[in-house]
Structure 1
Amino acid sequence: MARICQITGKKAMVGNHVSHSNKRTKRKFDVNLFRKKFYWVEEDCWISLNVSAAGLRLINKIGLDAAIKQAAEKGYLNR
Structure 2
Amino acid sequence: MSRRCELTGKGALVGHTVSHSNIKTKRRFLPNLVNVTLQSDALGRGVRLRICANALKSVDHRGGLDAFLMKAGDADLSPRALLLKKQIVKKLAAPAAAS
- What's the TM-score bracket when you normalise by the shorter of the two chains? 0.7 to 0.9
Partner residue of 2:66?
A: 65
Note if contact 2:35-2:50 (Cα within 8 Å) is conserved in structure 1: yes
Bigger share in helix: 2
Q: Are 1:36 and 2:33 matched, yes or no?
A: no
TM-score (norm 1): 0.88
Q: CA deviation at 1:71?
A: 4.1
Deviation at 1:69, TM superposition (A): 3.0
Gaps of 5+ in 1: none
- The count of residues paired between Structure 1 and Structure 2 equals 79
Point out the structure with max Rg over C-alpha. Answer: 2
CA deviation vs aligned residue, 1:15-67 (integer Å, no higher than 9, x gap) = 00111110001000000110001111101121111111110111001121022
The RMSD of aligned alpha carbons is: 1.5
- Measured after TM superposition, the shift of residue 77 of structure 1 is 2.3
Structure 2 runs not aligned, ≥5 long: 81-99
Q: Distance in 1 between matches of 2:45 and 2:27?
A: 39
Q: Which has the higher strand share?
A: 1
Paired residue type of 2:79: N
Could you tell me the TM-score, scaled by structure 2's length? 0.72
In the superposition, relative to structure 1, how do residues 50 and 71 fare at CA in structure 2: closer, same or farther (>3 Å)? farther
After TM superposition, give the deviation of residue 74 of structure 1 in Å: 2.6
**Higher RCO (CA < 8 A, seq sep 6+):** 1
Deviation at 1:75, TM superposition (A): 4.2
Q: What's the secondary structure of 1:8's corresponding residue? A: coil
